[in-house]
Amino acid sequence: MTAAVPRLEIRHLVQTYDGKRVVDDVSLTIHAGCVTCLLGPSGCGKSTTLRMIAGVEMQASGEIYVDGGLICDTVFRVPPERRHIGLMFQDFALFPHLTVRQNVGFGLKGTGIDQEARVRELLNRVGLLRHIDSYPHQLSGGEQQRVALARALAPRPSVMLMDEPFSGLDNRLRDGIRDDTLALLKEEGAAVLLVTHEPEEAMRMADEIALMRGGKIVQRGAPYNLYNAPVDKAAVSFFSDINTLRGKVQGALTDTPFGQFLAPGVPDGGEVEIVFRPQHVAIDFDRAGRGPSPTDIQGAPARGEVIRSRFLGKESLVEFCMEHDGQVLKATVPNVFLPKPGTAMWLSVRRDRCFVFPATKG
């Protein structure tokens, strides 16, 4: 049996502006019904990548394939409207002078698809059939968003490109619309490339996340893998607050106030950073100057003094000044836990949730 042909494949895509590579050798493969999120900080080249795939901008080098067929390299170029690609960008502007029916049916002329039936099917699916004769200004933001989604999906595109499609929506609407959108995208079977700079959105939507930085994809994988096996410190901190300990390596080990950590492959005298998330810090009360006994899982405890504690809704965030070196470490605790500033407590760290990386400068 041959493997299914990916709906979208991009190979070694490069874009240069003013001599600077803003997209630098990006390759991706997305299969039918799969959602890949291009996730990364502002300016890292996400939208530029999407624009090249959409065909509104020409790449400096690299190739783009849809359903196994070449649609663009540096000499050959299929025009945007013939790429079988649906677009949904941040300003998904509907045509204001067209009704919902006309908006959704817009891309169907000449496709051979029964326009009225397809428009009704999709509007029914997004719960807006009753608005078929309304104009965009008569709809709420969330409703306009759903019409835009129906419009993009109407011609049954092989690929859907979405650039921050939910960023204009009210926070409370967003989660519901994300889930509904995802369900519909899966049903329709397009390959989806969704751009976002919000890790929560990527975790919620993606089958696979491609983490982008400085024009390059630095890590690709299922959300679980990116969160739990990040490639470097920046990849950890992109998903959550972090704590960092620094240490020098001797014999592939480094000493910290929380015990020794393995630093395989780091030469003697090399510096490492031990990175962990606040939710993996356990807190114990001080009992006459003593803390809990060390365990294999938690390692040794270290003592610190509460600087401040804040209630954040689902959890409380407590900041400590550590006794050994004055470093500030953060811990989160479920529910309400608000110890007074100055309280001495013992911190320990889930050793299996610590990441050891060669130290970065600064």
Ligand X SMILES: Nc1ncnc2c1ncn2[C@@H]1O[C@H](COP(=O)(O)OP(=O)(O)OP(=O)(O)O)[C@@H](O)[C@H]1O
Residue numbers at the binding site for ligand X (CB under 6 A): 17, 22, 40, 42-48, 197
Residue 323 forms beta bridges with which residues? none
Tell the smallest beta-carbon distance from residue 206 to ligand X (Å): 16
Tell the smallest beta-carbon distance from residue 47 to ligand X (Å): 3
The length of the chain is 362
Q: If contact means CB under 5 to 8 A according to the sort of partner, which of ligand X, Mg ion, none does residue 44 touch?
A: ligand X
Name the residue nearer to ligand X (CB basis): 86 or 215.
215
Q: If contact means CB under 5 to 8 A according to the sort of partner, which of Mg ion, ligand X, none does residue 197 touch?
A: ligand X
Q: Which of residues 40-99 bind Mg ion (CB under 5 A)?
A: 47
Q: If contact means CB under 5 to 8 A according to the sort of partner, which of ligand X, Mg ion, none does residue 22 touch?
A: ligand X
Give me 160's structure tokens: 């859907």
Name the residue nearer to Mg ion (CB basis): 49 or 256.
49
Tell the smallest beta-carbon distance from residue 46 to Mg ion (Å): 5
Q: Parallel, antiparallel, or unpaired for β 8-17 and 69-72?
A: unpaired
Tell the smallest beta-carbon distance from residue 204 to Mg ion (Å): 19
Name the residue nearer to ligand X (CB basis): 50 or 177.
50
In the chain, the amino acid numbered 229 is A
Q: What is the arrangement of strands in the sheet containing 259-262, beginning at the earlier edge strand?
A: 259-262, 253-256, 243-250, 271-276, 355-358
Give me 360's structure tokens: 């970065």
- Tokens 């009753």, residue located: 130
Name the residue nearer to Mg ion (CB basis): 47 or 144.
47
In angstroms, rounded to a whole number, what is the distance separating the alpha carbons of residues 212 and 70?
Answer: 24
Total Cβ atoms within 10 A of residue 134: 15
DSSP for 68-85 reads TEEEE-SS-B--GGGS-E
Tell the smallest beta-carbon distance from residue 201 to ligand X (Å): 12
In angstroms, rounded to a whole number, what is the distance separating the alpha carbons of residues 259 and 257?
Answer: 6
Using the rule CB under 5 A, is 103 a contact of Mg ion?
Answer: no
Number of chain positions touching Mg ion (CB under 5 A): 1
Name the residue nearer to ligand X (CB basis): 40 or 107.
40
Binding mask of the shown chain, residues 112 to 151, with x at each position contacting Mg ion by CB under 5 A: ----------------------------------------
Residue 247 forms beta bridges with which residues? 272
Give me 219's structure tokens: 């890590």
> CA nearest 186: which of 152, 168, 160?
160
Tell the smallest beta-carbon distance from residue 22 to ligand X (Å): 4
Q: Which long-range contacts (CB under 8 A, 24 or more apart) does 292-299 make?
A: 292/346, 292/348, 294/259, 294/348, 296/351, 297/350, 297/351, 297/352, 298/348, 298/349, 298/350, 298/351, 299/258, 299/259, 299/348, 299/349, 299/351
Name the residue nearer to ligand X (CB basis): 22 or 331.
22
Tell the smallest beta-carbon distance from residue 164 to Mg ion (Å): 7
Taking phi over 0 as left and psi of -120 to 50 as alpha, with beta for the rest, 23 belongs to beta
Q: If contact means CB under 5 to 8 A according to the sort of partner, which of Mg ion, ligand X, none does residue 178 touch?
A: none
Q: If contact means CB under 5 to 8 A according to the sort of partner, which of ligand X, Mg ion, none does residue 243 touch?
A: none
Name the residue nearer to Mg ion (CB basis): 47 or 332.
47
Tell the smallest beta-carbon distance from residue 37 to ligand X (Å): 13
Q: Parallel, antiparallel, or unpaired for β 8-17 and 20-30?
A: antiparallel
Cα three-residue angle 25-31-37, rounded to 5 degrees? 60
Q: If contact means CB under 5 to 8 A according to the sort of partner, which of ligand X, Mg ion, none does residue 147 touch?
A: none
Tell the smallest beta-carbon distance from residue 179 to ligand X (Å): 23
Q: If contact means CB under 5 to 8 A according to the sort of partner, which of ligand X, Mg ion, none does residue 151 touch?
A: none
Name the residue nearer to ligand X (CB basis): 193 or 275.
193
Q: If contact means CB under 5 to 8 A according to the sort of partner, which of Mg ion, ligand X, none does residue 45 touch?
A: ligand X
Name the residue nearer to ligand X (CB basis): 49 or 144.
49
Residue numbers at the binding site for Mg ion (CB under 5 A)? 47
